[in-house]
Structures are given as structure tokens and as C-alpha cells.
Structure 1
Amino acid sequence: MSTEFIEALEQIQKDKGISKEILIDAIEAALISSYKRNFGSAQNVRVEINRETGEVHVYSQKRVVEEVEDDLLEISLEEAKEIHRNYEVEDIIEREVTPRNFGRIAAQTAKQVVVQRIREAERGVVYEEFINRESDIITGTIARVAKGIVYVNLGKTEATLSPTEQIPNEQYTHGERIKTYIVEVKKTTKGPQVMVSRTHPGLIKRLFELEVPEIHEGVVEIKSISREAGSRTKIAVESKDPNVDAVGACVGPKGARVQAIVDELRGEKIDIIKYSEDPSVFIASSLSPAKVVSTEVSVENKTAKVVVPDYQLSLAIGKEGQNARLAAKLTGWKIDIKSESQVKSAD
């Protein structure tokens, strides 16, 4: 190798931020393996790369002992004294054993190590970028679909959208732009693995933060979300400013803000509920769009008995119990819904 090689390492240090010393140390370690592999040597060796000229030198190492048991690794004190009278037991004696054609092997090995280290460094940069974006929303394009898994191109890497994180019956087309929620970023030998979701409630939260300035600014707060992806979501919001209507801010002018989110979710229905510290009021609101006649709560058991008009019973319960189920999840209360006639007949 040559001074040009050292200059190249210095350039890599500038461009990629990988220390020249770290690269040289890694190359020296790799060259020890290369030497032993190519020259069938079982002896201890040390490889040194001159930091100025790039020249490579290989030195065999033998430990000075009283009695030699392995002449590949040890040298007798008597022999050592012949080399230099100051040698003592346990000293290490080095002799240069650089093969004539070792330069070519060194150059190939160095190239492999440098390429590998650059790749590792780039993967590390990508990992650090995306690990800091866990629980955040990201836009990418659909690269391909294979065995039910959707691969999303994020520019520097690809994200994996597994079948369990896909909205039921949602179609994914190559080249289509899509917003996803970063669930987890794993460090693997092949680089960072970014796991994303279209079903996570966090996607709803982030979409509202993007569309509603009042949420982004902290004036309106999202208190809770319950979601059955692809079908319906309920979101409870509260305003910290009496002059700002939390529900109105989320709906937006002529419903534009919430409609943008519905469009992104391919038509998923969204109920925006005004949060209340009063459980009776909050539970009644959570059953929207159904109207509630009365609510009786048991704080101790965290249960609520809700009465609705007869004609509103099916609406309050929802198809296959969905509305009631989402309301219970949104409020954290167990809700028992009865119609007025059911209550009267029970009396």
C-alpha cells in the first residue's frame, strides 16, 4: 500500500466521519487473519501499517521461556540471549516476516475492511435517524408487496408493513405515497429494520397533530383514542383555552381537517368527542352519534348504566356492538346500554 492509501483514509475520515485510526486498527486486525490464512502460519504475528507511508510490515512474536514447548510460539532464553543479551523470560521477541507478495493481499483486505466499515457507519447513521423517530409518522412510497408484506421506501431505508399492521381490505399499489406510524426500529446485521403500522392508534394522533394547528401548538389536547382500523375511530379532545372549541378545531372549516384524515385512512369514520372530567357527561358524549337520556355511574366499580331512546338503541350499540365497544375503550368505563322501554319493563 502507499501514501495514496493513507490519504484516501483521511478523506474517508472527513467525508464519512470514520476515524482513520479506527480504520487502520481494523485493517491491521484483518491482515493478521489474512496472513495466517494465506501463509498457513499458526504463529503469533503482529501487523503494523505505517501511518505516514502506508507500508505494511508483519512481525512474528515469540515469548521467551526457560523450556520451549511450542517452537512456533516460544523461544528459549538461551536463543534469546544470542539475539540480545538483555532479553529475559516472558519478554516478547519480534522478527519481521513480511512475505514478498503481501502487498497485494494487504490491498485487497484493506479495501474489504474499509467498504464494510463505511457500510456499518452508514447503517449506524440511518439507525440513529429512525430510532429517534419511533412513535412518529412518516411518509414513504410503496416499493413492493411480497407474501402479504408491504415494503415502504423511506429514502435511506425500507420499512416493513406486516399483514397484522395493515388496515383490513386496504389496497397497496406500487409507487403510491402512504403515511405510516413507526412502531419499532431494530438494529440487525443487515442494517436497521423499521417496523411501521397503519392500524396503530398513534397514527390517528399524529395525523391530527399534522392537520390541526391547535393540537400541534398544545392549545387542544388529545385525551384518548379508541380505534378499530379501517372501520371507526373515536377521539376525545379537550381545549385548554375557553375561547377555542376543541371539537370545532379538529373538524376544521367545512369539515376540511377531519376529512383530510378520513381520506388518508381510506374512508375510516371518525367521531370527535369533547372530553369532560365528569364521567357521566364524557360517557354520554362517547356514545355519539347516539343521543343519551340519562347516565348513572358507579365510580367504585367504574361502570355506567346508560339509557337511550328506543329508536336510538341500535345506534348507541352500533353494528356488532362496535359503537359501545369503542366508547368503553375511549372512556375506560364498562358501559351497560338500555332503551327507555327496557328500563320501564324492568321496573
Structure 2
Amino acid sequence: MSLLDLKSLNSAFEELQRERGISRESVIDALGTALAAAYRREYGKRGQIIRATLNPETGDIEFRQAKIVVDKTLVRTPEEEGDLPAAPDAAQAGDDHRSRFNPEQHIMLEDARRIKKDAQLDEEISFPLEAKEDFGRIAAQAAKQVVMQKVREAERASIISEFGEREGQVVTGHVQRFERGNLYVDLGRATAILPYEEQIPGERYRQGERVRALLLHVDEGVRGTFIRLSRSHPKFLTKLFEAEVPEMASGVVEVKAIVREPGSRAKIAVFSKDDHVDPVGALVGQRGVRVAVVTSELGGEKIDVVESLAIGRGGQNVRLAARLTGWKIDIRSAGGTQVAESDKVEDDVKIVAETMEKKPAEKTEEST
């Protein structure tokens, strides 16, 4: 029976194939599943297995009831059910793992072979179902839902593919809205989230404002695609420098380690593969231009490209250097008085600095 508008159906198939890359066959399969579910809901009996086959050339839909071929080794027959004691003991009940025979789902092997001589156990035998003339409206609604679902699935897959390839890169978007401390960022084809814990402390954003962040990861959940951003991650700082420093982009200068107290201070340990290239100077740039650009993006966060140690206000540099090296750092004056100490112990290593007779630091640059 022809229940669907064939012209509209084929037009939808072609558009999905052309615009979304969704194959005609996958839509037909999904549509058959949806039509079978709709028929069972409207006219079927409990436990029925219904299959629907759509002919895309004519628009005809055929409904059939499927039954699984079984024997007494797979199911308990009604006679066996009647012979069971009213209250079988636990041992008897536990020994029989067969399911109960359901005439809407099962057909005994001997009966199946009357229909098909070579029928085998677990094979599916199908029987035609009555055509329903009033099913046209339901079929059209099911077809519309399937097409919309396929479009959503294709869009989701496209977003995951596009942004999944950009994980670990800097992306640019515009502030869409705020919700419970989280910032939602419009990236064009998708909306990403910049969680509160991934934001730089003290930063404030306005709706519509341009924002750059590191794309941490892309996940697919029950509610759709989840894109997580970060501005506090150490790698965000690395990627910002890569955009400003050609020597880093070419691989001549490498960042060996980086630690941050976002919004306040950061330290970077750098290395050059070329003896003729100064890694610290490369990141700082002429008159500090390169590091100034990065500092501006981070709202004034001070950036040290370090090759020596300074204490810093409140021991801040000591804490950062300890995280950078993985050591416990204990700085004392010449008289033995403790000046600063890191709060992280990774190794039994102590560095004693003679603060009364400091030598000039070698190759240390700090943004102002």
C-alpha cells in the first residue's frame, strides 16, 4: 500500500545525501524501523515482532510479523508450564533457564517446517500483516521524525569530526550567556562551555564579547555534543606563544615545562635545538613585544621565561619553580634563616640560595 508522498520522500533522500552526506539506504532502514514501531503501537499485540519494508520506488510499505523458530530446548511450552508445581523449590527453578513460550514471538520447529521445509532453530519466519488504510497520517509523521533525527545525527557527527580535530588548539568565539558561573561561547556551528574552574580568576566577560580559549576536548553525551574550553590550562599559554613566535612554530624552540597561577604569574622553561637561537629572547621578542602580546591576552598575567630562580612576592616564584622542576625548594639566607620554601615535595632535593651575595641571574626574562 502506498502511504507516503513519493515525490517528497525522494526529494528528502536527495537533499540529505547532497547536503548532509547521509546515505539513502541508512534513511530507508531508519524509516522502516520507525514505521514498524508506529504500526505495533497502533495495531499490534503485546510481544509482537513487527518488520516494515519500504519500497522507495513506489512508496509502498509492507508490514510483516516475525517469529523465532524454537523447540523445547529453548522454551517452556504451555503444557510444561501447567505441569510445574504451584511453588517449585529454588533448585528446580534455578536449573531451568529456558524462556516461556510466547505465541506472538515464537514458532515451534515442527510448525515452522510446515511453512519452510529447511527452517532452522533461531531463524526468523515472517507472516504478512493486514494493511491499514488509516495508517497514512501516522506513516507521514514517522517519516518526518526520522528525517529530522537523521539531520540531527549528521550535524552532531559533523561537529564532533570538525572540533575533535581541533582539540589542543586555540579557538575563537563570542560570549553567548552565563549560567551558574559557567560561560557559554558561540563557536559558530556549536556552543562550547568555559567552566568556572577553567576561567582566569578576576576576568569579567560581556555578552557578545570576543573570547579566545584552548579547546580541551569534545565529548558526545545524551544531551548532545559537549565542547569544553579552558583559559587557565598551561597549554593555552604555550599555544599563544606558538602564534607569536616563529621559532616555536618551526620547532626550533621548545617549551620543556610550564606552570601557571592563572591571572597572576607563569613560568616557562624553554630549550633551543639551534645554538644560534636564544630561546628566551625568541619568546620575549624585541623590546618585549612578543611576550607583551601574550600577557595582554591573559589580562596582565606576568610571564617569566626562566633559567634561574628568584624568590618572588610571598614566595610565589618558589612555588612555581617547585612545580616546574618537581623538587622541594628551600631558600635560606647566609645566616641560615629560612626565606622561602615550596609546599610541594617531589624529590629529596634542597636548593640553598645565598641571598646576601646574589650573583646576577643568567638569561632570565620577565614581562612587565
Do the aligned residues in 1 keep the contact of 2:172 with 2:212 (CA within 8 Å)? yes
Q: Which residue of 2 aligns with 1:332?
A: 326
Shift in Å, 1:339:
2.2
Summarize deviations over 1:282-333 as a string: whole Å, max 9, x none: xxx1x2xxxxxxxxxxxxxxxxxxxxxxxxxxxx332221111112222233
Query: Which of 206, 212, 219 is matched with 1:179 structurally?
Result: 212
Shift in Å, 1:113:
1.0
Shift in Å, 1:240:
1.5
- 1:160 equivalent in alignment to 2:193: yes
Shift in Å, 1:261:
0.4
TM-score (norm 2): 0.74
Q: Taking structure 1 as reference, are residues 78 and 128 closer, same or farther at Cα in structure 2, changes over 3 Å only?
A: closer
Query: Which of 1, 13, 17 is matched with 1:13 structurally?
Result: 17
Q: Which residue of 1 aligns with 2:42?
A: 38
Q: Taking structure 1 as reference, are residues 145 and 86 closer, same or farther at Cα in structure 2, changes over 3 Å only?
A: closer
Distance of 2:204 and 2:303 partners within structure 1: 20
Shift in Å, 1:9:
0.9
Number of equivalences: 302
Q: Secondary structure at the match of 2:132?
A: coil
Shift in Å, 1:213:
0.9
The RMSD of aligned alpha carbons is 2.8
Distance of 1:181 and 1:78 partners within structure 2: 66
Q: Secondary structure at the match of 2:263?
A: coil
Do the aligned residues in 1 keep the contact of 2:50 with 2:66 (CA within 8 Å)? yes
Query: Which of 241, 263, 278 is matched with 1:245 structurally?
Result: 278
After TM superposition, list the pairs within 5 Å mapping 1:74-93 onto structure 2. Answer: 87-88=116-117, 92-93=125-126
Distance of 1:77 and 1:221 partners within structure 2: 71
Unaligned runs of 5+ in 1: 275-284, 288-315
Q: Taking structure 1 as reference, are residues 32 and 337 closer, same or farther at Cα in structure 2, changes over 3 Å only?
A: same
Q: Which residue of 2 aligns with 1:57?
A: 62
Q: Which residue of 2 aligns with 1:303?
A: none
Summarize deviations over 1:156-176 as a string: whole Å, max 9, x none: 111111111111111111111
Query: Which of 255, 259, 263 is matched with 2:296 structurally?
Result: 263
Distance of 2:269 and 2:108 partners within structure 1: 83
Shift in Å, 1:88:
4.5
Q: Which amino acid aligns with 1:134?
A: E
Unaligned runs of 5+ in 2: 72-76, 79-100, 338-353, 355-368
Q: Taking structure 1 as reference, are residues 234 and 93 closer, same or farther at Cα in structure 2, changes over 3 Å only?
A: closer
TM-score (norm 1): 0.79
Q: Which residue of 2 aligns with 1:195?
A: 228
Shift in Å, 1:86:
6.2
Distance of 2:259 and 2:190 partners within structure 1: 31
Q: Secondary structure at the match of 2:152?
A: helix
Summarize deviations over 1:183-223 as a string: whole Å, max 9, x none: 22211122210111111111111111111111011111111
Summarize deviations over 1:21-46 as a string: whole Å, max 9, x none: 11111111111110011124344332
Q: Secondary structure at the match of 1:151?
A: strand
Query: Which of 162, 168, 179 is matched with 1:135 structurally?
Result: 168
Do the aligned residues in 2 keep the contact of 1:77 with 1:87 (CA within 8 Å)? no
Q: Which residue of 2 aligns with 1:144?
A: 177
Distance of 1:205 and 1:65 partners within structure 2: 64
Higher relative contact order (CA 8 A, sep 6+): 2
Shift in Å, 1:89:
8.7
Distance of 2:31 and 2:297 partners within structure 1: 50
After TM superposition, list the pairs within 5 Å mapping 1:216-255 onto structure 2. Answer: 216-255=249-288
